[in-house]
Amino acid sequence: MFSLESLAHNIDLGLNNIFPPTVALLSEMVIIGVGVIALFAVLGLVLVFMERKVSAYMQIRKGPNRVGYQGFAQTAADTLKLVLKEGLTPDGADKFLFNLAPFIVMIVAMLLMAPIAFTKGFQIWDINIGVLYISAISSLSVIGILMAGWASNNKYSLIGAMRSGAQIVSYELSAGLAILAMVVLTGSLQISEIVASQQNGWWIFKGHIPAVISFIIFIIAVTAETNRAPFDMAEAESELTAGFHTEYSGMRFAFFFLAEYVNIFIVCAIGATLYFGGWMPFHVGTWEAFNHVMDFIPGVVWFFGKTFGLIFLIMWFRWTFPRLRIDQLLNLEWTYLLPISMFNLLLMTIIAINGWYF
């Protein structure tokens, strides 16, 4: 049977047969680089289209339905428009940093792709501190945002960037603690092992209430970390026009836009991996027959299904709730989420030590 694992394995073997190991490694890196960029483009198109359709249906509208079949080519047309537009650099801006910022944001998003397991054995880099790596790298994107806000020489951008800085630094904490709770349960930081430990059921079901609380905190924290409504302080359309990317136009604006959607995909992929078993099919304890049926659905389908489910949840938040104020946002983190997640971590530790999970 065709599987992505064997495909990756065969490419690796083939390259090593033809070339010396160093060249083989380098050519693999190039293939992966191209693959990631292609994935970025596809994700950007799909997620933007999805967001527009989800928002449209929630707002009793039809959404884009003119370009292509049911409007599928709408985002491609929009991208084309953005490419053709002039990329303005404001006169008073710090030109180097202004031009650098979108690339920093994109590079961070690309780095985050590394440890994500798309299916069994199909992973760019199965690093043994995968979860820690993600926590560490994801906080770097704030540098790009701060850079963009500062270098634009625009007060709206500056306020947006500062808000974003305060927000991401705060929400890192509870996102980290929520992830830590799952690490305690799993006993490993490696993504592949975390997935393997959910062989007989996903953690959200096996881990009792603490896992559910941890999941809720995680989803709130990552919504805030990716600057999505209701936590889109950095953009805050009605207050700061467009926040940190007010001065960006053309393709550089598209990079920010794309990075936002790719970041959503990545955090949702992490959420799916930690709480819903990544590519692991839906297994229930010892029901062999049932588990066997579930195994027929390929891991990639499970992985993308779960991830897009979580992305839908985040979009659902965006199109339902009003935006918080910046002080309320920080208040929510420091007086509600952080104490709850600390208490939750304690509870989870007790459960893990005593082995009270399934």
Partner 1 sequence: MFIVDYIKDVYNGVTSLLKGMRLTGYYFVHPKEIITQEYPEVKQVLPERFKGEVVMRHNENNEHRCTGCTACELACPNATIKIVTKFDITPDGKKKKALDVFVYHLELCTMCNLCIVACPTDAIKMAQTFEHSVYDRTELTKVLNKPGSKLMDGVE
Partner 2 sequence: MIEEVGTTTEGDLIINVGPQHPSTHGVLHLVITLNGETVKKVEPHLGYIHRSIEKMCESLSYRQFIYVTSRMDYLSSHINNQGCALVVEKGLQIEVPERGKVIRVLMAELTRIASHLLWWGAMGMDIGAFTPFFHAFREREAINDIMEETCGARLTMNYVVPGGVMADIHPNFQKKVNEFIKLLKSKIDEYYILLTGNIILQERLKGVGVISAEDAINFGCSGPVVRACGVKSDIRKIAPYDGYEKVKFDEVFETAGDSFARYMVRMNEIRQSLSIVEQLIDNIPEGEFQAKTKAVLKLPKGEFYSRVETARGEFGVYIISEGGLTPYRIKFRSPGFSNLAALHHMVKGSKIADMVATMGTLDLVIPDIDR
Which residues in this chain contact partner 2 in the complex, by CB under 8 A?
A: 55, 58-61, 155-156, 159, 163, 229-230, 232, 236-241, 319-328
Find, among 260, 253, 251, 243, the residue nearest to 314 by Cα: 260
Identity of the residue numbered 16: N
Residues that bind partner 1 (rule: CB under 8 A) add up to a total of 14
- Asked if 316 interacts with partner 1 (CB under 8 A), we say yes
Distance, in Å, from the CA atom of 151 to the CA atom of 101, rounded to the nearest integer, reads: 9
Interface with partner 1 by CB under 8 A: which range of 3-11, 36-44, 61-69, 166-174?
61-69
- Asked if 325 interacts with partner 1 (CB under 8 A), we say no
Could you tell which of partner 2, partner 1, none binds residue 316, using a CB distance below 5 to 8 A set by kind?
partner 1
Contact residue for partner 1 among 287, 321, 334, 356 (CB under 8 A): 321
Interface with partner 1 by CB under 8 A: which range of 20-28, 108-116, 152-160, 317-325?
317-325
Minimum distance from residue 165 beta carbon to partner 2 (Å): 13
Contact residue for partner 1 among 7, 25, 31, 58 (CB under 8 A): 58
What does the DSSP assignment read for 252-270? Answer: HHHHHHHHHHHHHHHHHHH
- Asked if 343 interacts with partner 1 (CB under 8 A), we say no
- Asked if 346 interacts with partner 1 (CB under 8 A), we say no
Interface with partner 1 by CB under 8 A: which range of 21-29, 165-173, 265-273, 315-323?
315-323
Distance, in Å, from the CA atom of 72 to the CA atom of 62, rounded to the nearest integer, reads: 13
Find, among 134, 336, 112, the residue nearest to 217 by Cα: 336
Whose tokens are 């974003």? That residue is: 164
Find, among 152, 117, 124, 114, the residue nearest to 256 by Cα: 152
In this structure, the chain runs to a length of 358
What does the DSSP assignment read for 100-138? Answer: HHHHHHHHHHHHHTTT-EEETTEES---TTHHHHHHHHH
- Asked if 61 interacts with partner 1 (CB under 8 A), we say yes
Distance, in Å, from the CA atom of 346 to the CA atom of 204, rounded to the nearest integer, reads: 17
Contact residue for partner 1 among 6, 10, 199, 320 (CB under 8 A): 320
- Asked if 336 interacts with partner 1 (CB under 8 A), we say yes
**Site residues (CB under 8 A) for partner 1?**
54, 57-62, 65, 316-317, 319-321, 336
